[in-house]
Amino acid sequence: MYSHLLLAADGSKNALRAAHEALKIASAMPGCKIEILFVIDNSKVKEEVLHSQNQEEREYKRHQKLLPIEEVFADQGIPHHFTTIHGDPGPAIVDYAKKNEIDLIILGSRGLNALQEFVLGSVSHKVVKRASCPVMIVK
C-alpha cells in the first residue's frame, strides 16, 4: 500500500501528533520508509539569523525542535530519514513529494482561524490543493 511516507515537520505540537499518526501507518506496513522533511521558510530566516550567533547555533536550535519527532520513530525502531530544504513550505513540500515518489504526505494542521487562513493561506491547504498523492492532515 504505502511504502514511502513524507512527514512534513516544523517542531510544533501538531507536527508531533502527525508523527504519531505516521508511526501507526508505518508500523502496519513492513518495509515502509519515513522521510521527515523540515522546510526552512526563507521569509523567517532573517529573524533566525538575528537571534543566533552563528550557523551552528541555528542548526542546533532546529535539531532541538525536531528531536521529539525523531524520538517517536527511534523508540519504535522505525526507519526514518531527515531532510532539510529551503523555500516556501507549501510548494516546497509538494515539489519534494513529486521528485521523491512519495506515496502519502502527512502533516499537522496549524489551526488558523478562517480570516487568518484567507489572508495568509495555510501550509496544509496549499499542500492539499497542489499535491498529486494523498495527504493526511492531523489536528
Q: What is the pLDDT of residue 117?
A: 52
pLDDT, average across residues 47-64: 72
Class for domain 4-138, per CATH?
Answer: alpha beta
pLDDT tens profile 7-32: 999 988 999 999 999 999 999 999 99
Mean pLDDT of 98-125: 76
Predicted pLDDT of residue 119? 44
Which phi-psi region, left, alpha or beta, contains residue 101 (left: φ > 0; alpha: ψ -120 to 50)?
A: left
Mean pLDDT of all residues in 25-49: 84
46 has a pLDDT exceeding 50: yes
Which pTM does this prediction carry? 0.88
Residue pLDDT, tens place only, 57-108: 778 877 898 999 999 999 999 999 999 999 999 999 999 999 999 999 999 9
Q: Which residues have CB under 8 Å from 108's CB, separation 6+?
A: 8, 9, 10, 12, 13, 14, 15, 16, 17, 18, 124, 137, 138, 139
